[in-house]
Structure 1
Amino acid sequence: MARNEEKAQSMLYRFREAQAAELGLVRKRERRPALASSVNTIGECERWRRDLLGEIARKVSKIQDVSLSDYQVRDLNDDINRLMREKYHWERRIRELGGADYSRAGPRMILTEGKEVPGTRGYRYFGRAKDLPGVRELFEQEAPQPESRSRGEIYKNIDADYYGYRDEEDGALLEYEREHEKDLVEHAEQMPDIAEPEEGEEEREPMDIDALNAEIGTVPNQKQVEEYLVNRRRQQLLDKYVSEDLKQSEQETKALAGMQ
């Protein structure tokens, strides 16, 4: 009896839905095109991509339900992966039409929800599917350790090419070197000549390394070199200005003494 009532209510619902669609009160739901290549506008592609994202989000949320059986979880996980592949086709079609590139700038939240087993070619497990019997063991397996090789095995495949002894036989490398040398020569020809120091401009004296070593006694470090340069510059200033002051005072003394 209850079954007949459910059937009657279902038929009444479908009748009212069809009647509302005829009157224009409810927009009839369109089916998503099976092939993304059959759509030629970016706006429509974006619309079906958003539709897919909403469906994927609902199924990812549903697969967390603890009341689902293992068979239902597997079916839901297969549906999510199928929808993910379909979403990729729509995103590729959007890129072909000149739209956004979602492979670089798209949301990654759905991908982070799923976990991929190495060697499954992009198949991901979402929600409770990661705890299914047989799947949990795949994630618990440790990654294989790289095979260690002895030093002799490593050097066995190393020849003269590794050390660059036969680079002169590489035509592409020689051509690159010729082009690079030509560019350097042209750049050097365009560089201005080194300017001579103008009259009155002080020439920088070279550092007397021997005198510095004799003064310090050992090879100087950076701090010692800086101290030596500061002291030498101070002495030069003293010799320059103090000697002039002495000459001037001496001339004044001679003038007062009437010796001129």
Structure 2
Amino acid sequence: MARNEEKAQSMLNRFITMKAEEKKKPKERRPYLASECRDLAEADKWRQQIMREIGRKVAEIQNEGLGEHRLRDLNDEINKLIREKTHWERRIIELGGPNYTRHSAKMTDLDGNIVDVPNPGGRGPGYRYFGAAKKLPGVKELFEKPPELRKRRTRYDIYKRIDASYYGYRDDEDGILEKLEGPAETKMRAAVVEEWMEMEKIKAEARRAVKSGAVAEVGAVSKILFEEEEDVVEEERRIEREKEVTEKEKEFVAHVPLPDEEEIKRRVLEKKKQEMLNKYTSSELLEELTEAKTLLNIQQ
């Protein structure tokens, strides 16, 4: 029995294949510009064809073993087909067809999160990466989120969060502090009252002992008397210090008459006059001036 390859090369099979191809319509070519299409059905047909091509190339680009150059070429071809699909979708809207761009797929990163694609042109989608092209050198960094910079808090931000709770003014609002402070306050108040009553009792005993002439030097009475004695001694020392300061101030005695303010001003003026004369007059003129003062009996 002949093999399948030999059957396909037989005269009959080639004749049948040739007749089948003659009956087929000539293969239509997609228009270069979407604006050349005038039929809505044809525009939708060309869009479906582009979608199938995009699907085949997206399935092919998933293979990481194709190499960097082939992956980049495939990614460029896919982006070109996507732009062409956008033109056809816009043309379909112009011919009165449905709006396919409303439900178009979004671009995602390696984790599946939707990301915005920058498009400086402002028309149609931006450049996208598919499959293994996302892991190419220089492309993976585009999908990584930059680390968040920790903003340093200013002094204003620090003080803005400070309220009454920071200073402890609201510690008693939870009810815990009141339960702890109540018994402690009662205990401290009782201790202070007891101490005051004891002191009053001791002072009364001391007064009675002083009036009767007895000497009260035992127990807590001696403590009270000693404290009062200390206060008296301290007061006497303070008075003595003040007296010493007063006596020292009075010790200074001037044994020579001191010039008053007018005399000091006069002497300063004479000294300045003498300095001016020495500066602007000669020695001969000074001698003549002195002689003249002597003859006229002028003291100044």
If you compute each CA radius of gyration, which structure gives the higher value, 1 or 2? 2
Greater length-normalized contact order (CA 8 Å, ≥ 6 residues apart): 1
Q: Does the alignment reach a TM-score above 0.5?
A: no
